[in-house]
Amino acid sequence: MRIAMIGAGYVGLVSGACFSDYGHNVTCVDMDKDKIARLTNGEIPIFEPGLGALVASNVHSGRLSFTTDLQEAVVDADVVFIAVGTPSRRGDGHADLSYVHAAAADIAKALDGFTVIVTKSTVPVGTGDDVERIIAETNSDADFVVVSNPEFLREGAAIEDFKRPDRIVVGLEDDRARPVMEEVYRPLYLNQAPLMFTGRRTAELIKYAANAFLAMKITFINEMADLCEKAGGDVQAVARGIGLDKRIGSKFLNAGPGYGGSCFPKDTLALVKTGQDFDAPMRLIETTVSVNDQRKRAMGRKVIAACGGDVRGKTIAILGLTFKPNTDDMRDAPSIAIIQTLRDAGATVRAYDPEGMEMAKAALEGVEYTANAYDAATGADCLVLVTEWNQFRSLDLRRIHEVMATPSLVDLRNIYRRNEIETAGFAYTSIGRSDQTTDQAPSALEAVE
């Protein structure tokens, strides 16, 4: 099939590359001339494991191309995906749909023959109706249908998620779109990926409901971690104890410094605003947003407490800046609030991240970036593990101890066992475990999932 992917950002680029790998002919469109030039020259503007090789292979095969010419890409397409950004709108927190609406208007002008228009972007309920109206008003002769096909891609594992999905949700109001979408995803039938057809508004809600539920699950275990610290429990044992219940499951029950990234923060906020618009308040999600925002700065205060309550004039080393491993994404990363809290308290901050330091420079000021974890630790009064990159799971503790001014480790991801860290001569602070609890944390090797 001939597919036009409007938007060559994270979702558009990954989706376009994967669709072309299925054998479809895909043209990715973006108005950013520099981005398209880089992609045409084989440069990948984002970090996602395996994406560079996938793009290069399909460009070489002739199935994947990049352009700024939307008209050229759309006029011959059987299916047009809208995969543009929907950031939180300044001032009120609603999803900013200006890019979606602009794409719809531009697509309308280029349509020639029956075409399926698919919203891949995460959009509030009713956006498909808006897209349909805009196209019809812009081009009254257009023969088209609008479908919702939300993405469920985890940064750092997006290609695997796309090719082996838990489900594929397709929301439609016109049955003419069904065989087209079945053909788009036909290569996945061998993997027995469930293709779930619903109404268009239902599909839009499924995406927000999924992200909000996962964000709520993270926030729940973080609050349980606080209780464990005060009551003498072990949050990791609690998480395992409830996660073994098949009704609950073990995923997203790792206590830490709060969620961040490109999806959960903006999508939970957008769902709260949608609930207000429809007079159906999302009270649990409202609380989730509030608790998560407060938690990030609370983690900064936790580091200060581990340093005796005062970090003025002290050097704090931060390991991990991105909101999760295997990405360079700094959007709403917990490290931002943690570092700001430490700097506000008078600390000097030194940091290292395997992929996120260039992006971090745009979000953080006054931070010294180093070449590796050991350089960051040199002369530091406290070492803080913020993002659980694999290379931080087996640090040379003896070397770290030798180069630090004060051997103190704050482990915000519970990567290490208290006994191994204290045996190595460090003061150790973790999440959701009081000093009195028996150490149930996995070892550095056992922690790898």
Provide CB contacts within 8 A for 164, sequence distance 6+: 191, 193
pLDDT of 448 strictly over 50: no
Coil, strand, or helix at residue 29?
strand
CA distance 209 to 124: 11
- In the predicted model, what is the mean pLDDT of residues 152-168? 95
307-363 pLDDT, tens digit each: 999 999 999 999 999 999 999 999 999 999 999 999 999 999 999 999 999 999 999
Q: Is 18 a catalytic residue?
A: no
Residue 224 has pLDDT above 90, yes or no: yes
Say yes or no to pLDDT of 447 above 50. no
Count helices and strands in the chain by DSSP H and E runs: 17, 14
> In whole numbers, what is the pLDDT of the chain averaged over residues?
94
Instruction: Give the pLDDT confidence of 402-429 residue by residue, as tens digits.
Output: 999 999 999 999 999 999 999 999 999 9
As a whole number of angstroms, the distance between CA 214 and CA 204 comes to 16
Strands 382-385 and 315-319: parallel
Query: What percentage of residues in the chain have a pLDDT greater than 70?
Result: 96
Q: What is the pLDDT of residue 189?
A: 80
CA distance 51 to 444: 28
CA 160/CA 154 separation, integer angstroms = 9
d(CA 167, CA 165): 5
Query: What confidence score (pLDDT) does residue 192 get?
Result: 72
- Confidence check: pLDDT of 443 > 70: no
Q: Say what the pLDDT of residue 90 is.
A: 84
The number of C-alpha atoms within 13 Å of 237 and in the hemisphere containing its C-beta is 11
pLDDT at res. 190? 73
DSSP string, 164-216: S-S-EEEE-SSTTHHHHHHHHTGGGGGGT--EEEE-HHHHHHHHHHHHHHHHH
Q: Is the pLDDT of residue 441 over 80?
A: no
Q: What is the pTM of this model?
A: 0.92
Selected from 3.30.465.10, 3.40.350.10, 3.30.1490.20, 3.40.50.720, the CATH number assigned to the domain covering 235-429 reads 3.40.50.720
Same-fold call for 2-198 versus 235-429:
yes
131, 164 in Cβ contact below 8 A? no
The predicted pLDDT at position 442 comes to 47
Q: Are 445 and 417 in contact (CB under 8 A)?
A: no
pLDDT tens digits along 424-437: 999 999 999 986 55
> How confident is the model at residue 286, as a pLDDT?
97
Taking the CA atoms of residue 64, residue 69, residue 75 and residue 76 in that order, the dihedral angle to the nearest 10 degrees is -20
CA–CA gap between residue 138 and residue 107 (Å, rounded): 9
CATH architecture of 2-198: 3-Layer(aba) Sandwich (3.40)
Neighbours of 394 (CB within 10 A): 14
pLDDT level of residue 438 (50, 70, 90 thresholds)? low
pLDDT in tens, 290-299: 999 999 999 9
| pLDDT the model gives residue 446 | 39
Q: In terms of Cα–Cα distance, which of 387, 385, 342, 386 is closest to 365?
A: 342
> pLDDT class for 449, splitting at 50, 70, 90?
very low
List, for residues 56-113, the tens digit of each pLDDT value. 999 999 999 999 999 999 999 999 999 999 999 887 889 999 999 999 999 999 999 9
Show me where the domains of the chain are located.
Answer: 2-198, 235-429
> Contact at 8 Å (CB) between 369 and 348?
no
pLDDT for residue 15 is more than 70:
yes
Say which of 28, 263, 307, 382 is annotated catalytic.
Answer: 263
The percentage of the chain sitting over the pLDDT mark of 90, rounded to a whole number, equals: 94
Q: What integer is the mean pLDDT of 38-42?
A: 94
What average pLDDT does the segment 181-185 reach? Answer: 96
In the predicted structure, residue 444 carries a pLDDT above the cut 60: no
